Amino acid sequence: MMVPMRDITFAKGHGTRNDFVVYTDHSGLLDLDPVEVRFLCDRRGGIGADGMLRAVRAKHILGWDGDPAIWFMDYRNADGSVAEMCGNGVRVFVRYLYECGLVNERSMSIGTRAGLRRAELLPDDRVRVEMGPVRVEPGRLAPTVPITVAEGTPWSRTWQAQPVDVGNPHAVSFTDDIGTLDLTHQPVWPIGEFPDGVNAEFVRVHDAGHVGMRVHERGVGETESCGTGTVAVAAATLSRLGVQVGPQEHMVRVDVPGGTVEVGLSRATPQAPVLATLTGPAQLVYNGTIVIPDLS
């Protein structure tokens, strides 16, 4: 017989149907282990989600050297692994902090493992997040990497993927045929590339201001949206088309299976890094309490 260990009061939310379990850990004592995260994110035995967001004061995060009093988004993938950043997750996180009264202003700073992120709840209830620098072809990676989908099946296909760094790793492939891809299998790449795993995006380009995307997220599988992935896709698309990003924000609409977001890219000078913003919806759909059993 399983013995109840503790209960968690949570909210369930999503950003363009990329969904999350969110809970508050005021004292830093509810840092769940990977088995517990997998239980919560399980769509049959738990709550069900693509990932989990723990709202905890930054002072409780080992290695954080910024403002200790701000809220930190401790993000875990559905398999329990730690991830640096989640663009859809941070919008849901901001919505959660505001609606739960944990912050009173519609603009706020959020701590993440990819650094500080500024966010704002807009008048139309979308959330705009300053995503920081986005780097196409970062020096530590090869210019392109072959990515294979559905390896070992009759539907196996390979593309050259463009590595992009958005504080977490991405590999962007371009194809006009994103609708028929089998993303039930994890894409594979050569040994030695992406040692920490990678989010693999597949993109159809309409023009420099409009693309469509599907994604296989590391530690999760195919999701209906990936916020950092939309940023990676927008930057890789402009690079591919030879569009020079300048001080005026270049907006790219990104359609994903779960909806639509807007990515803004700008650069103060030709030598400065490209900075990204991500704007899209974020909704909380219900609250509850769940008992986490003894999973040993």
Give binding residues as ranges.
Answer: 18, 77, 87-88, 168, 199, 217-218, 227-228
The answer to whether residue 226 is catalytic is yes
Is 100 catalytic? The answer is: no
Q: Residue 197: what residue type? A: G
Tokens matching residue 7 = 């209960």
Of the residues 52, 61, 83, 86, which is catalytic?
A: 86
Residues marked as binding for substrate? Answer: 18, 77, 87-88, 168, 199, 217-218, 227-228
* 282-to-60, 83, 159, 198, 266 alpha-carbon distances in Å: 26, 20, 32, 24, 24
Tokens of 104: 């009173």
**Rounded to 5 degrees, what angle do the CA atoms 30, 33, 38 make?**
115
Catalytic residue among 94, 145, 149, 226: 226
Q: Which residues are CB-contacts of 178 (< 8 A; sequence separation ≥ 6)?
A: 202, 203, 204, 212, 213, 214
Q: How far is 247 from 224, CA to CA, in rounded Å?
A: 31
Active site residues: 86, 226
